């Protein structure tokens, strides 16, 4: 959010240490990073108070408390890579997304952004862009999806997707606050919708480049957890939060290169490359988030996890070519396999690597 100097001053002046008029003004930088929790990494953050005008520099943390180090050599380094206004605290405060490094400056093994940087750079000429659809589920503190009655189930799926009205949607207040927060932070959020299962929602980030979509996705996830925290609501990226006849939660990943945005041959080449061998199929799907076999069953608008297919308009295929793309003979493809809990740095790296290698030939 842009503020005038006068407004800015009236906000930051309340942050003068000890309310002392002569003390330097300062602001808060929330350093955010991705931890080493298995099988699905989680977000961590802590606050640094900086003097007015200061840049957020490298910082450190105790890696032995985040599954990123042993106690006897616990220091890990936070390298800022993306900053934006902090819509939670407002004013001049900022969010600072970081890569985790070892003390010798090398990327920590849990830092998947580093590998994406290399691949994105190698294929930069192909101008890859992504839109990721993040599905997620609100849970009560004891683990029940919002809208599920205690000890039972709501009416079967049908009225909930893009629904309106009490009894059909739950959690909208949080969802609206999250959308506003993402927009205020300047993230490339492009939409939201209520999902097929009660308590399940989606937001989309894109279409922007691989590093940008991933950085924005992690910050958007952090904002969602942070806002829901104020309501004692848990945000779950579990791929199958309710067992049985309920939709899972995915992260459909929409992808195009310049050539795909200009012609249909490149669209088909990309689709074919993702199924070129069973090794490639498995390389992708085993890194598309934990619990992928539970969600990609062949039911509930999914393809079986270990069998690759693609098709026009087919929501039962691994990869869908949207109908408009077939009509226009150009556009993008949708990889429907990634789980809600996928690391965006990983899925974008795999897609760029596999598709751009094939398109390069």
Q: Does 199 bind ligand ADP (CB under 6 A)?
A: no
Q: Which of residues 251-290 bind ligand ADP (CB under 6 A)?
A: 252, 254-256, 261
Q: Does 331 bind ligand ADP (CB under 6 A)?
A: yes
Nearest-angstrom CA–CA distance, 303 and 297: 6
Q: Which of residues 95-134 bind Mn ion (CB under 5 A)?
A: 133
CB 81 within 8 A of CB 98: yes
Instruction: Choose which of 68, 110, 204, 318 interacts with ligand ADP (CB under 6 A).
Output: 204
Q: Pick one of ligand ADP, Mn ion, none as the site partner of residue 261 (Cβ within 5 to 8 A by kind).
A: ligand ADP
Nearest-angstrom CA–CA distance, 191 and 206: 9
Q: Which of residues 62-121 bind ligand ADP (CB under 6 A)?
A: none
Q: Which residues contact 225 (CB under 8 A, 6 or more apart)?
A: 43, 235
Question: Which C-beta is closer to ligand ADP: that of 60 or that of 191?
Answer: 191
Instruction: Choose which of 85, 154, 199, 207 interacts with ligand ADP (CB under 6 A).
Output: 207
| Nearest residue to 338 (alpha-carbon basis) of 33, 40, 4 | 40
Nearest-angstrom CA–CA distance, 90 and 265: 47
Q: Does 332 bind ligand ADP (CB under 6 A)?
A: yes
CB 98 within 8 A of CB 46: no
CB 296 within 8 A of CB 303: yes
> Cα angle vertex 187, ends 113, 99, to 5°?
20
Residue number of the CB closest to ligand ADP reads: 131
The mark string for 285-324 relative to ligand ADP (x by CB under 6 A, - otherwise) is ----------------------------------------
Kindly state the tokens that stand for 113.
């952004």
Q: Does 210 bind ligand ADP (CB under 6 A)?
A: no
Question: Which C-beta is closer to Mn ion: that of 117 or that of 252?
Answer: 252
The mark string for 127-166 relative to ligand ADP (x by CB under 6 A, - otherwise) is --xxx-x---------------------------------
Nearest-angstrom CA–CA distance, 260 and 269: 9
User: Residue 165 in 3-state DSSP?
Assistant: coil
Q: Which residues contact 348 (CB under 8 A, 6 or more apart)?
A: 116, 120, 128, 130, 210, 211, 213, 214, 253, 255
Question: Which C-beta is closer to Mn ion: that of 226 or that of 252?
Answer: 252
Question: Which C-beta is closer to ligand ADP: that of 36 or that of 131?
Answer: 131
Instruction: Choose which of 15, 112, 240, 252 interacts with Mn ion (CB under 5 A).
Output: 252
Q: What is the largest CA-CA distance in the chain?
A: 68
Can you list the alpha helix ranges (DSSP code H) found in the chain? 5-12, 112-122, 172-185, 210-229, 258-262, 264-273, 278-285, 292-295, 323-328, 344-360
Question: Which C-beta is closer to ligand ADP: that of 206 or that of 248?
Answer: 206
Question: Which C-beta is closer to Mn ion: that of 86 or that of 202?
Answer: 202
Q: Does 179 bind ligand ADP (CB under 6 A)?
A: no
Instruction: Choose which of 190, 192, 268, 280 interacts with ligand ADP (CB under 6 A).
Output: 190
**Residues interacting with ligand ADP, by CB under 6 A?**
129-131, 133, 190-191, 204, 206-207, 252, 254-256, 261, 331-332, 334
């Amino acid at each position: 959010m842009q503020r005038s100097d006068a407004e800015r001053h009236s906000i930051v002046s309340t942050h003068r240490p000890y309310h002392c008029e002569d003390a330097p003004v300062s602001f808060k930088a929330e350093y955010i990073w991705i931890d080493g929790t298995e099988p699905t990494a989680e977000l961590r953050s802590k606050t640094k108070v900086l003097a007015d005008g200061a840049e957020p520099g490298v910082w450190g943390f105790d890696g032995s408390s985040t599954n990123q180090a042993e106690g006897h050599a616990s220091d890990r380094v936070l390298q800022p890579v993306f900053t934006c206004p902090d819509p939670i605290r407002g004013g001049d405060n900022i969010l600072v997304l970081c890569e985790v490094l070892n003390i010798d400056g090398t990327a920590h093994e849990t830092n998947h952004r580093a590998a994406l940087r290399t691949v994105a750079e190698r294929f930069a000429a192909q101008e890859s862009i992504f839109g990721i659809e993040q599905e997620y589920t609100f849970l009560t503190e004891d683990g029940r999806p919002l809208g599920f009655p205690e000890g039972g189930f709501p009416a079967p799926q049908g009225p909930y997707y893009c629904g309106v009205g009490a009894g059909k949607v739950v959690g909208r207040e949080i969802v609206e606050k999250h959308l506003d927060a993402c927009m205020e932070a300047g993230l490339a959020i492009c939409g939201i919708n209520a999902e097929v299962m009660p308590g399940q929602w989606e937001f989309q980030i894109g279409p922007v480049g691989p590093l940008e979509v991933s950085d924005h996705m992690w910050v958007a996830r952090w904002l969602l957890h942070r806002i829901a925290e104020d309501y004692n609501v848990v945000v779950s990226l579990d791929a199958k939060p309710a067992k049985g006849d309920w939709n899972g939660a995915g992260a459909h990943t929409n992808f195009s290169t310049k050539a795909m945005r200009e012609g249909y041959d490149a669209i088909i080449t990309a689709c074919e490359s993702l199924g070129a061998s069973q090794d490639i199929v498995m390389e992708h799907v085993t890194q598309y988030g934990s619990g992928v076999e539970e969600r990609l069953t062949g039911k509930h608008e999914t393809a079986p996890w270990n069998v690759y297919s693609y098709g026009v308009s087919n929501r039962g295929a691994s990869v869908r070519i949207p109908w408009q793309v077939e009509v226009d003979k150009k556009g993008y493809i949708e990889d429907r396999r990634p789980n809600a809990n996928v690391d965006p740095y990983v899925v974008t790296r795999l897609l760029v690597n596999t598709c751009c290698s094939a398109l390069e030939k």
